[in-house]
Structure 1
Amino acid sequence: MTDYDVLRVFCAPNGGYGNELGVVREGSVLPDREDRQALAAKLAFSETVFVDDPERGIIDIYTPTARLPFAGYPCVGAAWLLDVPELVTPAGVVGARLDGEFSWIEARAEWAPPRTFRQYASAAEIDDLSVPAPGEWIYAWAWEDEPAGRIRARGFPGRGDGIEEDEATGAAALLLTEQLGRALNITQGAGSQILTAPQPYGWVEIGGRVRLEGAER
Structure 2
Amino acid sequence: MYPYVILDVFTDTPLEGNPLAVFPRAEDIPGERLQAIAREMNLSETVFVLPPEGEGHARVRIFTPAVELPFAGHPTLGTAYHIADRDGLDRVVLETGSGAVAVEFERADGRLASGRMRQPIPTWEPYERADEILAALGVETSELPVELYVNGPRFVYVALESEERVAALAPDLAALAAHGTVGVVCFAGAGTRWKCRVFSPGAGIAEDPATGSAAGPFAVHLARHGRIAHGEEIRIAQGAEIGRPSTLYARALGEGDRIDAVEVAGSAVLVARGEFLA
Same fold (TM over 0.5): yes
Secondary structure of the structure 2 residue equivalent to 1:165 = strand
Match of residue 157, structure 1, among 193, 200, 207: 200
Structure number with larger C-alpha Rg: 2
Q: 1:183 to 1:23 in 2, by over 3 A?
A: same
Matched, 1:46 2:53: no
1:198 aligns to what?
252
- The superposition leaves residues 123-175 of structure 1 with CA deviations (integer Å, 9 ceiling, x where unpaired) of 111111114323242111000xx23x1101111112273x3110000111111
Which of 106, 119, 122 is matched with 1:99 structurally?
A: 106
Whether the 8 Å contact between 1:132 and 1:156 is mirrored in structure 2 is no
Judge which range, 185-194 or 96-105, deviates more.
96-105
Aligned in 2, Cα 1:69/1:179: closer, same or farther, shift over 3 Å? Answer: same
The 3 A distance-change label for structure 1 pair 50 and 14 is closer
Among the aligned pairs, what percent are the same residue? 29
Check 1:164–1:81 CA distance in 2 against 1; reply closer, same or farther (3 A cut).
Answer: same
CA contact (8 A) 1:197 1:204 kept: yes
Distance 1:176 1:82 in 2: 27
Take 1:141 and 1:31, find their aligned partners in 2: how far apart are those partners? 40
| Corresponding residue number in structure 2 for 1:186 | 236
List alignment gaps of at least 5 residues for structure 1.
Answer: none
The amino acid across from 2:270 in the alignment is L
2: CA distance, partners of 1:36 / 1:113: 19
What are the Cα deviations for residues 16-42 of structure 1, in whole angstroms up to 9, with x where unaligned?
Answer: 52000000011112141x210110011
Question: 1:28 maps to what in 2?
Answer: 27
Offset at residue 198 of structure 1 (A): 2.0
Asked whether the equivalents of residues 23 and 78 of structure 1 are also in contact (C-alpha less than 8 Å), the reply is yes
Secondary structure in 2 aligned to 1:185? strand
User: 1:94, 1:106 within 8 Å by CA — same for their partners in 2?
Assistant: yes
Give me the whole-angstrom Cα distance separating, in 2, the residues matched to 1:139 and 1:192: 15
| Residue in structure 1 matching 2:186, options 116, 133, 140 | 140
Offset at residue 77 of structure 1 (A): 0.5
- Report the Cα distance in structure 1 between the residues aligned to 2:47 and 2:236, rounded to whole angstroms: 24
Secondary structure at the aligned position of 2:153 is classed as: coil
Alignment of 1:202-213 (within 5 A): 202-213=260-271
Partner of 2:169: 129
The within-5 A match list for 1:65-104 is 65-83=66-84, 84-100=91-107, 101-104=113-116
Q: Is contact 2:7–2:269 with CA below 8 Å preserved after alignment? A: yes
Q: Secondary structure, in 3 states, of the residue corresponding to 1:121?
A: coil
Is the CA contact (8 Å cut-off) linking 1:108 and 1:202 kept in structure 2? no
Q: TM-score, normalising length from structure 2?
A: 0.71
Q: CA deviation at 1:122?
A: 0.8
**TM-score, with structure 1 as normaliser:** 0.90
Summarize the alignment of residues 102-113 of structure 1 with structure 2, pairs less than 5 Å apart: 102-110=114-122, 111-113=151-153
State the number of aligned residues.
211
Which of 116, 134, 142 is the matching residue for 2:156? 116
User: Which segments of 5 or more consecutive residues in structure 2 lack a partner in the other structure?
Assistant: 85-90, 108-112, 123-150, 224-231
- Could you tell me whether the CA contact under 8 Å between 1:112 and 1:175 is conserved in 2? no
RMSD of equivalent CA atoms: 1.9
Structure-1 separation of matches of 2:152 and 2:203: 20
Contact 1:154 1:166 in 2 (8 A): yes
